[in-house]
Structure 1
Amino acid sequence: MKKKICVIFGGESTEYEISLRSAASIINELDKEKYDIMTVGITRGGKWKEYTGKVENIICDRWYDDSLKDVSVDLGGADGALIVYGNGKLEKVKIDCAFLGLHGANGEDGTVQGMLKLAHIPYTGPDMLTSCLGMDKAYTKIMLESAGIDQAKWVTVNDYDRDEIMKKVVDAEEIFGYPMFVKPANAGSSIGIGKAKNRDELMSAIDNAFKFDRRIIIEEFLSGREVECAVMGKRGVVRVSCVGEIKAANEFYDYEAKYSDKVESKLIIPAEFKDGIEKRIKETAKKAFIALDGKGYSRVDFFVNEDDGTVKLNEINTLPGFTSISMFPKLFMHEGFSYAEILDRLIEIGME
């Protein structure tokens, strides 16, 4: 009997467009012989709708119209169901597993995970706590620091610190100096990130980052090779991929360098290293995943400086992109998995 899989995409997030791309790839690659696929889109305004149209309309954001049926999570039952209603009719649909094609706020941050848990619907990816911690760069750094993982130095700035912003700026200048990066704490896909080479650029980057979140981090600039490692598994049983390297088309791997057709960043899989550095990267990726009590999958990003032998964790992404050009599936496909087999495994872990 086929499993009922609900792919959820979109959402109230600055990473809405990336979610559309990930979801389209997931829907196309799920084995239709194994799964009965339901597709639920969340609009930018937060409306949940059942989508039954063509997958290509998702990619170009033409999936929504007012005739789509409304969807809600059945929080009143224990059988793991969604409620679909429209045209004066209501239907309860039992879901075996929700495949989360969401990125960013209101999807990657534990909010949807908590709601699905209350509704007894299994889902792919980490649980609520891991998602919350993994989404917030400031709290992730605290957790990784406690696990003894080497990473960039940082200063956290909350919106209520802005009256004393110069103290934070001076702290950052004294701790690590220029250049430095400024990042919204709860945004992915390099959205809102700025590089500052002096105080004027730093103040401008801070103002921009606060447009995307109420908490930001000012972070030490790390030089070296930008590499990524994929992790898949559950507590205690974790598989780590080979390491891939990014040759960014822009000054750093920003949103345009990741997703724009106008620039072309290069992915090298597998990347080559000397002196046992690859082993250290893979061990640290696994350690970080376990430190956050990870489940399902994550992509762990590093900067490697072979001149001094340092391996520093940049960030961990607990719901990495699943687009046709995303590093996570590419890394495990190099390990011998097909795209469909990766999806199968993530569903298995979610249902376990």
Structure 2
Amino acid sequence: MTQTTAIDARPAGAGARTRVVVLFGGRSSEHAISCVTAGGIMAAMDRSLFDVVPVGITRAGAFTLQSDDPGAWALRGSDLPSVPDNGTRVRWPDSVDSRALAVVQADGSITALGDVDVVFPILHGPFGEDGTVQGLLELVGLPYVGDGVLASAVGMDKHLSKVVLEHAGLRVAPWTTVLRREWDADEADVLERAAAHGWPLFVKPARAGSSMGVSRVDEPGQLPAAFATAFEHDSKVIVEPRIVGREIEVAVLEGRDGTPRTSLPGEIVVDEAGFYDFEAKYLGGDEQLRCPAPLSQDETDEVRSIAARAFEAIAGSGLARVDCFLTDDGFVVNEVNTMPGFTPFSMYPRCWAASGLPYPDLVRELVELGAVAVR
């Protein structure tokens, strides 16, 4: 017979601290970055205002109760953290009439974790950023931070997001979508279609982030390896020509009235031969990020307007980062990230800090928005 005990199981209500489930880790290739982000967010949370319930998803998909010590999830040099399977299993509410969580301990005993107010899903990539976890939370009736099921799914899929943005009248980079079955059936045809974009070009998984699986290709002989790398992350791949222009990004935050707010734009500075890959984003320091970006007032106003339009086009809520290129012919939307990099040194919080909203205040604003979101 199992025994149930309670840990701080008071209901969250008037006068109580807001109880926030920080949900992180996950099954995608961006597992480690999710852990780092969660550590940054937990460090930024004022514990006089928030009770943190840290739920880590292992690489195998187990929901576990983890440490709320931000230091446990810090990035130390090139050592990336990971959610260990400690034998615990978190149980979500069994109906929409309850917001109570519980945890099954490794010895089989059950501990009540109490009611929670909101879930902050800090998940990147498939099985988290793509609407799957958002759907789970809606099924059990828990409020959550960030975009809903539709926006998350559209934003995650680079092909679908381009279709939606183009339909909304926004300029996007040309692309070719390749399915694994097409590659397996006629490799020569796929190579011919890809080469039609000219050189250099980029081969990307359609549904991955943090530049995972992305290759720059400068000549035809590099294409097969680039496709092989991309297909390791997704069964759908997109091919794009290199866009000559400055990489400009805008952070979007849903307003209290639903109207999107936009930050001052930031810029990623890369050399002619490279691109902003995983190592540059997370292991190479911050010298490639510039915020605010040196733009004219007209350019700043235009890209902020584009970011708001893109956010609304995908039915965004909560937050997003809209990435653009500034070319000789104007702005081109590259993609919309519905759960952008959120470590303290990532572009999204940097842009808001430059706009007058420091990291701890940004985290608080998102939690408060998520707790009252109507989807």
So what's the TM-score if we normalise by structure 1?
0.93
Q: 2:88: which partner in 1? A: 69
Check the 8 A contact 1:19/1:101 in 2, yes or no. yes
Shift of the 172–317 alpha-carbon distance from structure 1 to 2, 3 Å rule, reads same
Equivalents in 2 of 1:95, 1:275: separation in Å? 44
Q: 2:346: which partner in 1? A: 326
Equivalents in 1 of 2:305, 2:132: separation in Å? 30
Check the 8 A contact 1:231/1:241 in 2, yes or no. yes
**Among residues 25, 49, 61, which one is paired with 1:10 in the alignment?**
25
**Among residues 262, 274, 283, which one is paired with 2:296 in the alignment?**
274
Q: 2:315: which partner in 1? A: 293
Q: 2:370: which partner in 1? A: 350
Return the offset for 1:78: 2.4
Equivalents in 2 of 1:62, 1:113: separation in Å? 22
Aligned runs of 1:112-191 on 2, under 5 Å? 112-162=133-183, 163-174=185-196, 176-191=197-212
SS of 2:243's partner is coil
Equivalents in 2 of 1:74, 1:30: separation in Å? 24
Work out whether 1:23 is the aligned partner of 2:46. no
SS of 1:344's partner is helix
Equivalents in 2 of 1:55, 1:274: separation in Å? 39
Structure 1, unpaired ranges of 5+:
none
Q: 1:82: which partner in 2? A: 101
Q: AA paired with 2:262?
A: V
Return the offset for 1:53: 5.4
SS of 2:265's partner is strand
Check the 8 A contact 1:246/1:265 in 2, yes or no. no
SS of 1:229's partner is strand
Equivalents in 2 of 1:205, 1:240: separation in Å? 35
Return the offset for 1:275: 7.2
Q: AA paired with 1:80?
A: R
Percent identity over paired residues = 36
Q: AA paired with 2:50?
A: Y
Aligned positions, number: 347
**Root-mean-square deviation (Å):** 1.8
Q: 2:64: which partner in 1? A: 49
Check the 8 A contact 2:42/2:68 in 1, yes or no. no
Provide, for residues 76-119 of structure 1, a one-character-per-residue CA deviation record: whole Å limited to 9, x for no partner.
34223323122422425311000111111111011110000111
Shift of the 146–81 alpha-carbon distance from structure 1 to 2, 3 Å rule, reads farther
Equivalents in 1 of 2:53, 2:82: separation in Å? 18
Equivalents in 2 of 1:204, 1:198: separation in Å? 12
Work out whether 1:232 is the aligned partner of 2:250. no
Check the 8 A contact 1:110/1:127 in 2, yes or no. yes
Return the offset for 1:345: 1.3
Comparing 245-254 and 8-17, the one that deviates more: 245-254
Return the offset for 1:253: 0.4
Q: AA paired with 1:155?
A: T
Check the 8 A contact 2:53/2:68 in 1, yes or no. no
Equivalents in 1 of 2:351, 2:73: separation in Å? 25
Equivalents in 1 of 2:302, 2:189: separation in Å? 36
**Among residues 47, 53, 78, which one is paired with 1:38 in the alignment?**
53
Comparing 23-32 and 233-242, the one that deviates more: 233-242
Equivalents in 2 of 1:310, 1:301: separation in Å? 14
Equivalents in 2 of 1:319, 1:65: separation in Å? 25
Equivalents in 1 of 2:293, 2:102: separation in Å? 46
Equivalents in 2 of 1:258, 1:90: separation in Å? 39
Return the offset for 1:177: 1.5
Q: AA paired with 1:69?
A: T
Structure 2, unpaired ranges of 5+:
1-15, 75-79
Equivalents in 1 of 2:116, 2:26: separation in Å? 20
Equivalents in 2 of 1:129, 1:81: separation in Å? 26
Check the 8 A contact 2:286/2:345 in 1, yes or no. no
Check the 8 A contact 1:126/1:296 in 2, yes or no. yes
Q: AA paired with 1:345?
A: E
Aligned runs of 1:198-237 on 2, under 5 Å? 198-233=219-254, 236-237=258-259
Check the 8 A contact 2:24/2:122 in 1, yes or no. yes
Q: 2:283: which partner in 1? A: 260
Return the offset for 1:276: 1.8
Return the offset for 1:27: 0.2
Q: AA paired with 1:172?
A: A
Q: 1:105: which partner in 2? A: 126
Equivalents in 2 of 1:89, 1:189: separation in Å? 37
Check the 8 A contact 2:251/2:321 in 1, yes or no. yes
Shift of the 63–290 alpha-carbon distance from structure 1 to 2, 3 Å rule, reads closer
Check the 8 A contact 2:54/2:68 in 1, yes or no. no
